[in-house]
Amino acid sequence: MMFIKRITAMVLSIFFMLFISACSPYMDINENEENHEPNEQEATDSPEKTPNSGNNSQPEITAPETELQKKDQSEEVEMLQHAFHQIGYDITINGIYDELTTWAVTDFQLQHEDLMAIGIYDEETKAVLEQYIEDNEMVEPGLGLPFTEETVSTNSGADILANPYDQLALINKEYALPDNYEPEDLVIPNVQFPFTDELPKKQMREVAAIALEEMFQAADEAGLELYAQSGYRSFDRQEAIFAANVSANGEEEANKFSARPGESEHQSGLSMDITSPEVRFKLVVEFGETDEGQWILENAADYGFIIRYPEGKEDITKYQYEPWHLRYVGEKAAKEITENDITLEEYLLYE
């Protein structure tokens, strides 16, 4: 009987010690560390957070607030490149608004009817881009403007522009527009013309037409009389004009004041020749000496225009001085070009 009691006591003692050990908080901590610390395989297999999921280790993909354009270099440009990469564009992320970035912006704009295809990142483009990012929507790159790395030249040796829609496109004797290019957003600006016929040369691209209207309104309020004389020209029209000038003056002489087809800024829809009653509505150098010509010299940049062929820059532009020929490039570029007394060639090609 005594033996049975001893055995029973020993069993109860062992059971009690096991019970105490099972309830120990130290055992809980060790077990938690063993059961919940991820091993190397678990860490590898963990789903990676997306840029917009709140992971602080990666920057959130957002559309920049600032208007941006070719030649800009900033963190905002890098943000823009990340945003376009997010929606499907395989572009270099370098913080430089280069030709590839300009192409991506232009292609994106061409795929949306409510955006002006100008290659400039503006408020309207920002709104559409933000919607794409929010909806995780993708773009088919090149659907609006096919991308090409191959450079094609004209018979005269000028490189044909791959992006003729670019608001800052350089068009001269070395860079030409495609012969089939015709802007899709041509409109007639609400300004004075010295003729009443509804001719194609009244037209400009919408972005330039709006700016021209604002500039003419300001000139009118200053008591001046500006008239628009000649805007858009088709490839065929420019071909006919150049041929006529060659016939009358010879090709070498004609090339000083007239452009070969494809090499004329008028074909871009971003240029307008202007005049005034004081020079009898002619396109002559004397226009630069009139009150209207002087006002244009001092104020055109405020509306995004430059005098494309300024006096003293003939060796760069390869054209004679034309105080009447205005080219729309946007306010930012126009002010920098004018303030530094440089040409579009110098602005785009030289640092």
Per-residue model confidence as pLDDT tens digits over 292-307: 999 999 999 999 999 9
Known catalytic residues are: 322
Residues of the chain with CATH 1.10.101: 75-135
The band of 261, judged by pLDDT with boundaries at 50, 70 and 90, is: confident
pTM: predicted TM-score of the whole model, two decimal places: 0.82
CB 274 within 8 A of CB 229: yes
Q: Which fold has domain 159-349?
A: Muramoyl-pentapeptide Carboxypeptidase; domain 2 (3.30.1380)
> What is the average pLDDT across 43-56?
40
Residues 6 or more apart whose Cβ sits within 8 Å of residue 351: none
Per-residue DSSP letters for 62-116?
---SS-B-TT-BSHHHHHHHHHHHHTT-----SSB--HHHHHHHHHHHHT-TTS-
Query: How does pLDDT run across 208-217, given as a tens digit for each residue?
Result: 999 999 999 9
Distances (CA, A) of 212 to 45, 217, 295: 60, 8, 14
Q: What pLDDT is attached to residue 281?
A: 98
Backbone angles phi, psi at 307, to 5 degrees: -80, 110
Q: Which CATH architecture has domain 75-135?
A: Orthogonal Bundle (1.10)
Strands of the sheet with 305-309, listed across from one edge: 227-230, 271-275, 322-328, 305-309
Residue of higher predicted confidence among 244 and 218? 218
Residues of the chain with CATH 3.30.1380.10: 159-349
